[in-house]
Amino acid sequence: MCQLVELATLRSADEVVRAVLRALGGRERGGRTSTQTLFDVLAGRRLLLVLDNCEHLREELRAFVGTLLDAAPEMRILLTSREPIGTGDETVFRLGPLSLPGGGSCVSAVVCSDAGRLFVDRAAAINPAFALTPSAATMVVRICHELDGLPLALCLAAARTVAIPLADIADGLSQRGRLQEMTGEAPLPNQRSLRASLDWSYQLLDEQEQRLLRSLSAFAGGWTAPMAGAVALPEVSEERVESLLGSLEAKGLIVATPGMAQRRWTLLQIVREYAFSQLADEERDAIKSRHLASFRSYADEADGRLGEPRTHALVDEEMPNLRLALEWALERETSSGLHIVASLIRHWILSEHFDEAREASTAVLSIPGGDAALSARALVHCGAGVVGMLTEDYEAAIGNTRTGLALLARVDDDTARARCLQLAGMVLILTGLDLEEGLRSIDQAVELLRASGDAVGLGWALATLAYGAGVCDRFGAARAAYDEFLRIPGVSEHVRLRTWAEQAMAWAEVVVGSPARALAHADLALGLEGDWPSMTHFQGLCHRIHALALMGRTDEALDEGRRAMTSARESGALQAVPGIELGLVMAEFMHGDLGAAGDRARALAERVPQAHTLALLREVLAEIAIARDDAPEAEAHARELEGIAARTASRRQHALAEYLLGRVAMLRHDLDRARELLQSALGIYAGLASNAAPSTCSTGWRWRQWTRATPSVVPVSREQLRSRELGWGVRRAGR
């Protein structure tokens, strides 16, 4: 396999790593740097990696290439550069000029030389009337020697054969080439020849073409006709700009490249450098300003179209220009830099370009700005909070989120408020930092986003609301949020947002006691996510393992849990391990391996901070103690669960604590107390009926058994209480 990666527009080693990773189909993931992830992708692969235009990154590539080859010994790297990068084991293949026409008849000499054949081929492609007559061959020989057989120079000269006789081309190059040699402006003959060819081609352009070519050097990675007009010739019609671009293309000075939406052009790096050198200082400043304004506007418009197909790919296509605009903004106009990052932050998060988001956010937030662009600064902080959470930098996630919310208190813009609240709410809920504040933020965001028409923001907020509502026992609200999400045109097909929505519902259905539904949601999320070992992938596996366990498919759950644990550890996704262990606790518990489930649950309870996870672990531990007739331990775990319920204000957890305490009372033969507690638990669950089926995560099927016997809040008789197996499906240890 061969993979080409173009480096001309890149500025740092980190950008090179990300470019190679994306070219190979890899994705960034939490807990791993882009370099570590790239090493994972390359492990064991046989690959020829071609890095094109490397000369401006020699220092960065020197260390990177060696490290890359150490990590992937079956890979080979081919670099194209004007000079070696200087690694110790580098093999250099110097590509000299093409062979020149020698002696003999001119036609034969041209045909037998590489330079002559290239010139004739390009001239014939551009000018169908071109014929290699003896007189034409004489001129071709002169041109090839004047240009020292340099391919680019030959192509530029051949492009002129449509309008200029061969003799005039040869004479023009001879005069300009000899002058450059005598003045000694270029140190090497091939550089003098190339400069002569570029000078000659440039001087033949009319004034408008020259201005356009100079201005196009401000672009990185290409442009469309509207972009060229906005930056280079703002006073000229788009039709005229397209005509001028066609003229420069025909003359070989710009190159048409494939574009995803519109026709695009680019400059070869050597031509770009030449054109940029022709800019006067004041002209350069004006073009930079127009480029910055144009791509600030592009970023803002793209942010509003993220729900449309291919928008993320189109933004990635323009990323070299957006990076350049941000670089210029940081030099001269901080507020524009903040606006660009604020507009791109959602794209970076949803495309999983976490490193770029972090670097750009850090760069713009490190520059003091007072009240300038306050709403953009708040949005960048909140976006950086989400990036921190998704990359498992929780300190940065919480710090940025808190700062963003503090700034938001001084912002009146409803659009900015909605987006900040949506991003901040996601961090507050998914980290478990403050569920109530997170839900308040998301509820406010949903109302504002509905009014604003921001479909992507609304879909994102609804997916987060579904998760938060599920965690907080608002199961009706979770399902309503999910159903509304599915009705948003385009957004429900957005892979990343749909994955998050399915994950949210998988957890909610696990908690509500609907394992078949949970399994369906988990499998859909995993299908969208793929088998890339990301945190989202492992979360889907956790929900799947949990659902399988509750469905009684415990052998499958255990097998998948063990494989997931191995994969998480091998891939370095250690933050996923607690979630997988939670699934294994449930699988072991439902399988009847109470010793293993208890040991794992106790160890996990010491390490996880999330209240909903701790509640589930205390429930399992209480059930295990009850199965072993250990009333004191069962009561201790039930009391812990009761305390968690008080902190989270969860009526479901409170009902579950009372249910477990009622079971403890049954162990102690205190049937009056058991009746009181179980009656209270049933009453609470009756009140939750609009939001949840009468079931819970690990005891859902047992609650269903109980409520079939007592379908409403009715007195529970002492005879019912004496039937200690009523609603009790746990396999008793040793019996």
Kindly indicate the confidence band of residue 46, based on its pLDDT and cuts at 50, 70 and 90.
confident
Task: Kindly tell me if the per-residue pLDDT of 694 is higher than 70.
Answer: no
Kindly indicate the confidence band of residue 31, based on its pLDDT and cuts at 50, 70 and 90.
low
Task: Kindly tell me if the per-residue pLDDT of 699 is higher than 70.
Answer: no
Residues 151 and 29 in one domain: no
Task: Kindly tell me if the per-residue pLDDT of 316 is higher than 70.
Answer: yes
For residue 350, being part of any structural domain is answered with: no
Q: What is the mean pLDDT of residues 627-637?
A: 95
For residue 456, being part of any structural domain is answered with: no
Number of folded domains that form the chain = 3
Question: In percent, how much of the chain has pLDDT > 70?
Answer: 90
In this prediction, residue 94 carries a pLDDT of 82
Residues 623 and 669 in one domain: yes
The residue among 44, 79, 114 that closes a domain is: 79
For residue 687, being part of any structural domain is answered with: yes
Task: Kindly tell me if the per-residue pLDDT of 707 is higher than 90.
Answer: no
For residue 417, being part of any structural domain is answered with: no
Q: Is the dihedral of CA 289, 292, 294, 300 positive or negative?
A: negative
Longest distance between any two alpha carbons in the chain, whole Å: 118
pLDDT, tens digit, 9 for 90 and up, residues 652-687? 889 999 999 999 999 999 999 999 999 999 888 777
pLDDT, tens digit, 9 for 90 and up, residues 240-251? 999 999 999 999
**Distances in Å between the alpha carbon of 348 and those of 356, 382, 398, 499, 640?**
7, 13, 19, 16, 41
In this prediction, residue 458 carries a pLDDT of 97
pLDDT, tens digit, 9 for 90 and up, residues 516-544? 999 999 999 999 988 777 778 888 999 99
Report the run of H or E that residue 4 belongs to, with start and end.
strand 2-6
In this prediction, residue 104 carries a pLDDT of 64
Q: Which domain holds residue 597?
A: 592-722
Q: What is the mean pLDDT of residues 4-12?
A: 87
Residues 75 and 119 in one domain: no
In this prediction, residue 704 carries a pLDDT of 41
Residues 611 and 671 in one domain: yes
For residue 655, being part of any structural domain is answered with: yes
pLDDT, tens digit, 9 for 90 and up, residues 454-471? 999 999 999 999 999 888
Residues 68 and 145 in one domain: no
Q: What is the mean pLDDT of residues 351-358?
A: 93
**Distances in Å between the alpha carbon of 522 and those of 92, 499, 510, 681?**
52, 9, 10, 30
Task: Kindly tell me if the per-residue pLDDT of 179 is higher than 50.
Answer: no
For residue 61, being part of any structural domain is answered with: yes
By CB neighbour count within 10 A (0-12 exposed, 13-18 middle, 19+ buried), where does 160 fall? buried
For residue 682, being part of any structural domain is answered with: yes
Residues 614 and 700 in one domain: yes
Q: What is the mean pLDDT of residues 366-395?
A: 89
On whether the CB atoms of residues 87 and 57 are closer than 8 A, the answer is no
In this prediction, residue 605 carries a pLDDT of 92
**Distances in Å between the alpha carbon of 28 and those of 74, 200, 380, 532?**
23, 47, 20, 10
By CB neighbour count within 10 A (0-12 exposed, 13-18 middle, 19+ buried), where does 577 fall? middle
The residue among 175, 204, 233 that closes a domain is: 204
